[in-house]
Amino acid sequence: MSLNETLTRAMPQRWQAPGLVPSLLFCVFIAFFAWSLSRAGISIPDLIAGIPAMGTIASEMVPPATDRLLPMMNSVLTTFQMALVGAGIGIVLSFPIAILATRTLSPHPIVYSATRAFVSFVRTVPDLAWALFFVASVGLGPFAGTLALIMDTIGFCGRFFAESMEEVDPGPSEALAAMGAKRADIIACAVVPAATPGLTNASLYSLEKAVRSSVVLGLVGAGGIGAELAVSMEMFRYDQAATIVLMIFVLVLGVERFSAYARSKFLDGARPKL
Amino acid sequence: MLLRDILNMPTSSAIDRIRVIDGPNAVDLEREGAQSAPSLPRFTDAPGINSKTALAVKGLGKTYTTQNGTNTVLRDVSFAINAGDSVAIVGANGSGKSTSLRCAMRLIEPTTGEIFLEGRPLMGLSGLALRKARSKVGFVFQKHNLSTRLSVLSNVLHGGFARGCGIRNWTHSIAPKEERDRALDCLDQVGLADLAGRRADQLSGGQSQRVAIARALMQGPSLIFADEPAASLDPKAGEDMMALFSDLCRRTGLTLIVVSHNLEHALAYADRLIGLQAGSVVLDRKSTGLTREDLAWLYEETGA
Ligand SMILES: Nc1ncnc2c1ncn2[C@@H]1O[C@H](COP(=O)(O)OP(=O)(O)OP(=O)(O)O)[C@@H](O)[C@H]1O
Ligand SMILES: [Mg+2]
């Protein structure tokens, strides 16, 4: 008796030609993509024609300018401070909002749905749109930018805080509810400790996100280094632009390194070593 | 002493089971067991509701609605427990023991029925009144339910919420001195005072179990609901824990309701047994004069 006699043979199917409907849908998708390609204004000649200009700009970028170093550093600092305050206030405000938007903690299903809808709306509006809105209402400057960052952070943290708190094991909360603890005690002693890794991750990520967007917010007059970058580009001072880009690079890198460090501090023992 | 003897004895029901597995006359043995059971009175001395009743449930029912129909887990569960009594709830896996404890505290909302805790109805209550009523009951869960990222002492301090302690009981580092001392005393009672500073996720199963018990003691409860409190304890620790509970009952008049699969514990430490089978009360009587074998029918499959 040979071995293969005892085995049932389960050969996976060969490739088969797709049916009519999938083939049609595929053709429609290809056609739409081709149309999108033409509308995206992609033009190889323009790209080739632009190469010398790119070369000029790149060559003018070295060496980076040092003439406006101090005011630039000041603006970078403002950018960072806007991001810090915007993310900080945003995180603090997100917390109560997220509790209302957590199914298990929300006082009423209507409150839950309304808060969820509010957070989704805040998140769908892009940060630049918030900045334009606040520049128009409170005027040019860092205050408008900070407000925009607060909204942006609420949109992000409101959702992810709620999700981390919804995912925690209900056991410890049940234990405290069973002894008649207040909702605040249950949140502080059962939900938040268990959600700490998720809350920390979302907070740090929102700080990184705020730093990156606060650079761009300056472009619409909402304060910080973005305005300097816009002016340098318009004045064809590409060497200054290079300095600014380098400073932004250092800032973003520094914040990311800090987050990585803070994560390793807060997430101790949360996951098994692989 | 009696208990030790029982523990060390190979029980006849275990021997019966072995025969049932390999013997041709297995069915006869089973039937013998089933026939001898009715001779034993299943409902005797069960107290009615009176002024001494600590907890009474009447007609408690729970039906879950799932995608594939309804699942009735509790059917017309009624019992009354006098203050200071210790009662064991026994029954097979899935017979509804944990669910009836949860329903009695309305951690799961019962579908039907009434609950009286120290004379007051629980069903209509909400908010502060419900929290006040619940605070009298120390609930030890089957899965311990500790906040694992906090210290052992912080977890025990949380029991203070039942006595109206405020936010200083959130963590051991800011708790008032009296509360910290009291929490350490509770840990001492379960023999864990040396682990007070350890994070709760660095405990063994039995140690977490004991922390959960200390947390319940911290409430200063008048009733304790313990869902298999000895399940993850070693034999000695389990014995000690049951002894601690019955000592508390005697000294402080605590009412104890304990779910246990350990029939030796149930028979030795509980005055009364309540047996559940497929969500119905099928036994409610004094535990005196019963042996393990008298309860074997509880664990037989009802459908077969
Ligand atoms: N959310 C739920 N939906 C539907 N059925 C449930 C749900 N929770 C529990 N059950 C069912 O209720 C029954 C009783 O469960 P319960 O936890 O009370 O059993 P138990 O007597 O405590 O068992 P064990 O000895 O295993 O702890 C089980 O059959 C279980 O499958
Ligand atoms: Mg159970």
Q: Is the ipTM of this complex over 0.90?
A: no
Q: Is residue A37 part of a domain?
A: no
| Structural contact between residues A209 and A152, judged by C-beta atoms closer than 8 angstroms | yes
Strand order in the sheet with B86-91: B137-140, B223-227, B255-259, B86-91, B272-277, B280-286
- Of A244, A246, A242, nearest to A224 by C-alpha is A244
Euclidean distance between CA atoms A225 and A86, whole angstroms:
16
Euclidean distance between CA atoms A172 and B156, whole angstroms:
12
The mean of the pLDDT values for chain B is 81
Euclidean distance between CA atoms B246 and B269, whole angstroms:
7
Euclidean distance between CA atoms A263 and B220, whole angstroms:
39
- Count other Cβ atoms within 10 Å, centred on residue B34: 12
| Dihedrals phi, psi of A142, to nearest 5 degrees | -65, -25
Distance separating the N- and C-terminal Cα atoms of chain B: 38
Euclidean distance between CA atoms A260 and A269, whole angstroms:
16
Cβ of B107 closer than 6 Å to ligand 1, yes or no, is no
pLDDT per residue as tens, chain A (274 positions): 455 555 567 777 888 888 889 999 999 999 999 999 888 888 888 899 999 988 988 888 888 888 888 988 999 999 999 999 999 999 999 999 999 999 989 999 999 999 999 999 999 999 899 999 999 999 888 899 999 999 999 999 999 999 999 999 999 999 999 999 999 999 999 999 999 989 999 999 999 999 999 988 888 887 788 888 888 888 888 999 999 999 999 999 999 999 988 888 777 654 544 5
pLDDT at res. B6: 40
Q: Is residue A213 part of a domain?
A: yes
Q: Is residue A260 part of a domain?
A: yes
Q: Is residue A19 part of a domain?
A: no
pLDDT, tens digit, 9 for 90 and up, residues B245-263: 888 888 888 999 999 888 8
Q: Is residue A100 part of a domain?
A: yes
Q: Closest ligand to B63 CA?
A: 1
The CATH number given to whatever domain includes residue A144 is 1.10.3720.10
pTM (global) more than 0.90 = no
Number of domains comprising chain A:
1
Q: Is residue A14 part of a domain?
A: no
- Count other Cβ atoms within 10 Å, centred on residue A196: 16
Q: Is residue A273 part of a domain?
A: no
Residues of chain B contacting A, Cβ within 8 Å: 105, 107, 130-135, 137-139, 141, 143-150, 154, 158-159, 161-162, 167, 169-170, 199, 201, 212, 215-216, 219
pLDDT at res. B18: 36
Enumerate residues 6+ apart whose C-beta is below 8 A from A236. A60
pLDDT at position B24 over 60: no
| Dihedrals phi, psi of A189, to nearest 5 degrees | -105, -20
Q: Is residue A72 part of a domain?
A: yes
Long-range pairs, B118-124, Cβ under 8 A, ≥24:
B118/B53, B118/B54, B118/B55, B118/B83, B118/B222, B119/B51, B119/B53
Domain that holds residue A141: 67-267
Euclidean distance between CA atoms A239 and A66, whole angstroms:
9
Euclidean distance between CA atoms A175 and A161, whole angstroms:
22
Query: CA of B139: which chain A residue's CA is closest?
Result: A178
| Ligand 1 pocket mutation pick from B64, B77, B90, B99 by most atoms within 8 angstroms of CB | B99
CB contact under 8 A, B159 and A179: yes
